[in-house]
Each structure stands twice: as structure tokens, then as C-alpha cells.
Amino acid sequence: MTLSLALNAPSAADQVWSVGQLNASVKRLFETHASKPFWVRGEILQCRVWSSGNWYFTLRDKGSQVRCCMFGLNAARAGKPPADGTEVYVLGKPGFYEEKGDFQLLVSRVLPTAAVGGQQQELERVKAVLQKDGLFDVDRKRPLPKFASTIALVTSRDGAALHDVVTVTRKRWPCARLYVVSARVQGEGAVDELVRALRLVNRIPRLDLCIVGRGGGAREDLAAFNSEAVCRALAAVRVPTVSAVGHEVDISLTDLVADLRAATPSAAAELAVADRRDVLRALDDLSGRLAASLVNRTRLAEERLGRTGDRLQVAIEGAIQARRSVADRFAAQLDALSPLRVLGRGYAVPFGDDGRVLKRLADFSSEKRFRLRVAEGDVRARVE
Amino acid sequence: MVRSESGDSPAAPLSEELSRLEEIVRKLETDDLELDAALVLFEEGVARLRAARERLAKAELKVQAVLEEAGGEIRLTKLDA
């Protein structure tokens, strides 16, 4: 919505705004065009804490000032209100107090610039030392196992990271076993607890992977993940590591030391474990190949059997032919040697009634009947 | 020394099952096996496929808290998360 005001004297035809409409319109303008918070640097003046817990203060520089309000919850996290003259960064967005028509900055965080400077210096120091010792080297990075099934998760027992990793892992790869090594991830004692937890990880048997991380937080809440001790303990973990410090803008030093950086704990779980659906698809593929291979192999065996059968038939036919040739040869020889062949030349053989051959003169008594065999057959005969 | 409340140990990794299955299929596809040997491999492949599918279907994520006791011993307790 755009704001347009008639500056001339109102006429009956013009629209006249009420104060309420005007302020509501201005408020909408702010809400539409300045919805994201940003950082502003200035000096604190007159910070007042109301009974509601809200802070009201002025932020100024040389030439300008702006009224600021920080509501109870954010104020409670910030601790003690800063003294007058403290140089600070504030994170806020413009707001418009409709009832009074006041412009103000709605602040969610206040950071003294001196503290930020000190933190930055320490971060640079640790980064330089770890870099010198090769903890960020690319050739140190180990590949993640394809099917991680036992995973250690170093995080806060009460944080969102635990819930997110469990949810994603349960959905993707429920065959996994998750070992939760809890540690405070921010505030006092966080560094010591993270170091102790990472050392404990090395004592878990048959481990595939370690995820260390936390859910989203403000920049100063991530300090433990930039500590030298935590980075060195992470580098000493004997299985591949994933750092998942849930802050979209900043990269923590554990992100640089770990074998893999994930933007959030959920993303870490997605990178760490396989997806059951992919594996089921792979099993379907293997199943298809297995069936096809057997069909193929059976077909090959049938073909081989067929070829063997053909060869056997040829062999048998050959053998029969050979035997037949031998038989024919013998038959021809027998035929040549047969005494009956002589009959073809005009000879005849006499046989008595008893079937004996009549060889002698005495065999032929007068009137004796006998058979005379000639080439074509027998002839009945009688002696005169 | 690690003590677990449930007392069970992690099952053999599924990755080994999948590798063996790959090997079986590859052998059946490429090796000049006798039919008898091929059938034995085929049966092994079918059994492993069935087992892997069942395992995936029945799987239930186990979440355990790792605690270090005063004596330095590690204790695992079931965690409802």
C-alpha cells in the first residue's frame, strides 16, 4: 500500500483521513518494507528497565538518534542493561507505535562492540593456529561411509538438533543406531562438555560416523564451536565427522575441521545416512538382474544341450551307415562264394527226397525220382 | 568396557549384504558357470534379497544415550527421542 496525502485544503470530494487511519497506514508501510532485522551501530543513552522487563533506550551517533525498545524475552537473555555511553551493535527492525505515532527501533539483540572485537580477535587467532597445524587441510577429509549404521551424535540433550537428527534418520534409514552423547552447546562449561563428549565418542565400539552440532542460535551462542579445544577434539575423532552448527550465515571452525559441513542438523542426518527408498530400488534392480541372469543361463544350457543332441544323432546315423556298409560287403562276398552261383553257368544239382545231394552213380537206381536244382529253381526228374 | 541395557549388539551391516548380492549378480551375468553352480548362487541371491527387504521393512531406529560412569565405564541407556 502506498501512502498519499492531500496537502491542499480539503474539499467535499477529497478523502479525509482520521489520525488512526494515518497511523495504521504508516505502520503497514513499516511492516511491508522493513520486515527483516538489521544491525545498527551507536551509543546507548538512558537505558530504562520497566517492570514488564522491557528495555527502553536511545541509540545515537554524532548527528542523529533513535528511540529503541527491547521486549522482555530478548532483554532477559541480554543480561544487565548497558551503561550510558556504551558503544554497541543492536539488531532490530523499524517499528511504529500506532497509539502515539512514534517511530522506534524494535531491538532483539544488543552486543557491546568491545566484546565483539575481542571475540573476533580470538576467532582469528584460533583459526590461524588450526590452519597452521593442518586441521583444515583438504587431504585430511575422509569420505563418509555409504551405509552408516552406527552414528554418534554430540549435542544438547534438550536441543532441537537431537530431535531433528532422530526424525530424519528414522525416516530415511531406520536400520541405524544412534548414540547420543550429550553436552552443553552454549554458555559456561560448553567447551569442556563438548571436548569430553568427543573423547567419549572415540570409546564407542563399531562406530561409523560422528555428527556434532546444535540448532540455530545467535552468533555469540556458537562460540564453543569456534574454540580451539573443541576443534582439536573433533579432529581427533577416529571416524568421519560431520559438523552441523545451525546458523545459516556463519561458518564455525568445527565446520572447517570436520570431514563434512552441513548447514543444519537435519541436513547432517540426510548426508550421513542412506535413504531406505533408494536401497529398496537398488534391491529391485538386483532382483531383476538376478532373474534375468538365470533365464539367460538356462537358455544357454538348453542351446548347449540341443547342440549335443544334434551331434549325437549325427554320430548314431554315421555308425549305422558304417555297419550297413560292412554288412553289404559281407553279403556280396558270401554271394560270390555261394555254390549256387555255379548253377548260373548251366550246371544242375540233383537232390534226393531226403534232401541229400545225389553224387554217385549208385544213387540213381532205375525209376528213381529226384529233384534237379537249376539256377531258376527245382525240376522234378526220373531215372530211365 | 561398554554396558548396554538392552544387551543386544548392532546387526551385521547391510552394506555387506548388498556387496555380496552385487557380487552374486555379477558372477551370474558374466562368469561361465556350470548350471548347478549358477543355481546355487541364484538361490543364495534370492535368500539374501528376501532377508534384506525384510530387514528394511522391519527396521526401527534405536536411540541410546551414552553415559560415562564414575569408574570410567561406558553405559548405554535407551533414549526416547
- DSSP class per residue in A205-251: TT--EEEEEE----GGGGGGGG-HHHHHHHHT-SS-EEEEE--SS--
Of the residues A192, A276, A289, A300, the best mutation for testing chain B's interface (the one with the most B CB atoms within 10 Å of its CB) is A289
Does some domain include residue A163? yes
Does some domain include residue A124? no
Of A149, A182, A287, the CB nearest to B13: A149
Comparing CA positions, the residue from A172, A135, A367 lying closest to residue A258 is A135
Indicate if A38 and A112 belong to the same structural domain.
yes
Å between A204 CA and nearest CA of chain B: 8
**Contact assignment for B66 to A179 by CB distance below 8 Å:** yes
Does some domain include residue A5? no
**pLDDT at residue A74 above 80?**
yes
Å between B36 CA and nearest CA of chain A: 10
Which one has a higher pLDDT value, A134 or A12?
A: A134
Give pLDDT tens digits for B29-76. 887 777 788 888 889 999 999 988 888 888 889 999 999 888 888 889
Which one has a higher pLDDT value, A5 or A185?
A: A185
| Number of neighbours of residue A197 by Cβ within 10 angstroms | 25
Indicate if A284 and A269 belong to the same structural domain.
no
Mean pLDDT value of segment A248-261: 87
* DSSP output for A150-184: EEEEEE-TTSHHHHHHHHHHHHH-TT-EEEEEE--
ipTM of this complex = 0.78
**Domains held by chain A: number:** 4
User: What backbone phi and psi angles, to 5 degrees, belong to A258?
Assistant: -60, 160
Does some domain include residue A10? no
Mean pLDDT value of segment A4-21: 69
Relative to beta strand A38-49, strand A241-245 is unpaired
Indicate if A264 and A287 belong to the same structural domain.
no
Of A283, A289, A301, the CB nearest to B35: A301
* B15 has a chain A CB within 8 A of its CB: yes
Cβ neighbours of B13 in A, within 8 Å: 147, 149
Mean pLDDT value of segment A193-222: 90
Sorted by sequence, the CB contacts under 8 Å of residue B10 that are 6+ apart come out as A149, A150, A177, A206
Domain boundary among A116, A147, A167: A116
Indicate if A344 and A312 belong to the same structural domain.
no
The proportion of chain A whose per-residue pLDDT surpasses 90, expressed as a percent, equals: 44
Structural domain boundaries, residue A289: 276-337
Indicate if A255 and A169 belong to the same structural domain.
yes
Of B38, B52, B68, the CB nearest to A297: B38
**Contact assignment for A287 to B49 by CB distance below 8 Å:** yes
Comparing CA positions, the residue from A215, A214, A216, A259 lying closest to residue A235 is A259
**Left if phi > 0, otherwise alpha if psi is -120 to 50, otherwise beta: which for A278?**
alpha
Q: What's the pLDDT score for residue B10?
A: 47
Which one has a higher pLDDT value, B81 or A267?
A: A267
pLDDT grade for B18, boundaries at 50, 70 and 90:
confident
pLDDT grade for A182, boundaries at 50, 70 and 90:
very high
Sheet holding B2-4, edge to edge: A260-261, A241-245, A209-214, A150-155, A177-182, B62-68, B74-78, B2-4
Burial class (CB in 10 A: 0-12, 13-18, 19+), B22: middle
Does some domain include residue A121? no
Cβ neighbours of B33 in A, within 8 Å: 297
Indicate if A265 and A137 belong to the same structural domain.
yes
- A43 forms beta bridges with A60, A87
Total residues found in chain A within this entry: 384
pLDDT grade for A136, boundaries at 50, 70 and 90:
very high
**pLDDT at residue A330 above 60?**
yes
**Contact assignment for B45 to A178 by CB distance below 8 Å:** no
**Whole-angstrom Cα distance, residue A14 to residue A104?**
31
Å between A56 CA and nearest CA of chain B: 41
First CA to last CA distance, chain B: 25
**Contact assignment for A297 to B46 by CB distance below 8 Å:** no
pLDDT grade for A8, boundaries at 50, 70 and 90:
low
Indicate if A85 and A156 belong to the same structural domain.
no
Mean of the per-residue pLDDT values of chain A: 87
Indicate if A237 and A297 belong to the same structural domain.
no
Structural domain boundaries, residue B42: 2-6+13-78
Total residues found in chain B within this entry: 81
Lowest mean pLDDT among A189-198, A324-333, A353-362, B6-15: B6-15
pLDDT grade for A69, boundaries at 50, 70 and 90:
very high
Burial class (CB in 10 A: 0-12, 13-18, 19+), A141: middle
Indicate if A223 and A324 belong to the same structural domain.
no
Cβ neighbours of B62 in A, within 8 Å: 176-178
Indicate if A348 and A294 belong to the same structural domain.
no
Does some domain include residue A128? no
Q: What's the pLDDT score for residue A222?
A: 85
**Contact assignment for A174 to B14 by CB distance below 8 Å:** no
Indicate if A200 and A155 belong to the same structural domain.
yes
pLDDT grade for B8, boundaries at 50, 70 and 90:
very low
**Domains held by chain B: number:** 1
Mean pLDDT value of segment B13-30: 85
